Amino acid sequence: MSLAGKKELEKNLWELQIAVSAEDFIKATGTAYLKERGRINVPGFRKGKAPRPIIEKLYGKEVFYEGALDSLLPTLLEDAYKAGKLDVVAPPFDLDADTNNAPNDITLTVKVWTKPKVTIEKYKGIEVEKDEVIVSEADIDAELERRRERNARVISTEEASVDGDIAVIDFEGFLDGVPFEGGKAEKYELTLGSGSFIPGFEEQLLGKKAGDSVEVNVSFPEEYHAEELAGKPVVFKVYIHELKHKELPELDDEFAKDLGDYETVAELRDGIKCELTEQRTMRADEKFYDRVMEALIDGTQAEIPAVMIERQAKDNVRQMADNLARQGMQLDMYLQYIGQTPEEFEQSQMPSAERRVRLELALEKIEKLEKIKIPAKKLDDEYTKVAEQYGLTVERVKEIISEEDMEASLKREKAIDIVKDTAVPIPKKAEDEAE
């Protein structure tokens, strides 16, 4: 078996001619006969017992050719890729076998896509903006109010409802006088002013008291996910069982002591400032490194075959399905909710898939430029770390993660570290907290 020739049909698309020796093909047809004879009926012979010459005379000498080529193909392709120094990125296609002179002069023709040539504008010393970390007195005041809210005492009230009250309600929605699906609940706790219901619903419960029955007239938003309700005026019949009022604790030294190792409100404010500074520093670092990787992607040139992006988009969809499944939701249910078909959703993944592929190509290029190697001890240490993390033996982890995959993962991490560690931050004014 040998690579008889290769030709680039277009950028990164190659056509290969692979020669198969008569000796290998004859051996493979013998193996195919032994494997397939049990499925072939020959008059006068028990199933699986007909001699090979009889079967070939009855069905033609080509009867075992396909099976022979199927068994040879993995090795044929692996040898051809190695001989042609081709980094193939997808399964081969348009396979054609010339077996007219079999078992002599057999040639396979196949097309494959390969990784593109990659050039990187810059990967060391990338300069990007980094947010300045600022914690103002107003930020501390807002956090104090949030902590007072979390420690509020909830008590029943007979007074008329106001923003912030919790209303315990029964409700049922009607469209043109007919109840609609999903529009009914009992003893639902709704915080007035939270904006969690349809616009206008909560406002119509303000000024009401426990025991009141209220007809709430609202319209669903035009972009509402249920098409039969989108933009439609509806009526909700609401009964208020109970109203609860939040009573916030006083902002004094006793409150500070209740929240931790603080003696005074001043100490609590200092503690909050330290916490917010740490959180925002971490967020600023994360955003900085995200910008660094985005800059790396933007500075990476490569004519990427569409098949690579399509495969990554499918991987994105599979990952999304796995994430949803862990949350108890199926992908098709999620797609119904957002109003997309599977095809539309996969198409929506193409831009992010293209950037993901470009990033992976950039990191591989950096690995080669930096001649990154992973010492055997580092590899062993990583296996031990993963084993301890998941409560498995090292041997079991090696069964799950091949040494080749583990080494590739560590090389990728090293390449990322090189980019991040050499990046240069440019000061940027802190962004509004709401962003």
pLDDT at 386: 96
* Homologous superfamily of the 2-114 domain (CATH): Trigger factor ribosome-binding domain (3.30.70.1050)
Kindly report the backbone phi and psi dihedral angles of residue 5, in degrees, each rounded to the nearest multiple of 5, phi listed first.
Answer: 180, 160
Which helix or strand (DSSP H or E) is residue 120 part of?
Answer: strand 119-120
pLDDT at 102: 79
Dist CA 133 CA 135 (whole Å): 7
pLDDT at 242: 96
Q: Are 327 and 384 in contact (CB under 8 A)?
A: no
Q: Are 214 and 204 in contact (CB under 8 A)?
A: yes
Dist CA 382 CA 371 (whole Å): 20
DSSP letter (8 states) at residue 433? T
The residue type found at 276 is: L
Other C-beta atoms lying within 10 Å of the C-beta of residue 165: 21
Q: Supply the pTM of this predicted model.
A: 0.72
Q: From residue 199, give the alpha-carbon distance in Å to each of 175, 177, 185, 206, 325.
A: 17, 20, 18, 14, 31
Other C-beta atoms lying within 10 Å of the C-beta of residue 142: 14
Domains 2-114 and 153-247 share a fold: no
pLDDT at 433: 45
Which helix or strand (DSSP H or E) is residue 181 part of?
Answer: strand 178-191
pLDDT at 99: 86
pLDDT at 431: 53
Dist CA 321 CA 319 (whole Å): 5
CATH code for 153-247?
Answer: 3.10.50.40
* Peptide linkage before 249 cis (omega within 30 of 0): no
Low-confidence ranges of the chain (pLDDT < 70): 1, 429-435
pLDDT at 49: 86
Q: Are 120 and 362 in contact (CB under 8 A)?
A: yes
Q: Are 118 and 301 in contact (CB under 8 A)?
A: yes
DSSP letter (8 states) at residue 63? G
pLDDT at 10: 95
Dist CA 388 CA 382 (whole Å): 10
Q: Are 151 and 346 in contact (CB under 8 A)?
A: no
Pick the CATH number of 265-428 from 3.20.20.140, 3.40.50.720, 1.10.3120.10, 3.30.300.130: 1.10.3120.10
Q: Are 172 and 184 in contact (CB under 8 A)?
A: yes
pLDDT at 306: 96
Question: What separation, in Å, do the N-terminal and C-terminal C-alpha atoms of the chain show?
Answer: 61
pLDDT at 105: 82
Q: What is the dihedral of CA 248, 253, 254, 255, to 10 degrees?
A: 30
Other C-beta atoms lying within 10 Å of the C-beta of residue 3: 17
pLDDT at 404: 94
The domain locations on the chain are 2-114, 153-247, 265-428
Other C-beta atoms lying within 10 Å of the C-beta of residue 308: 24
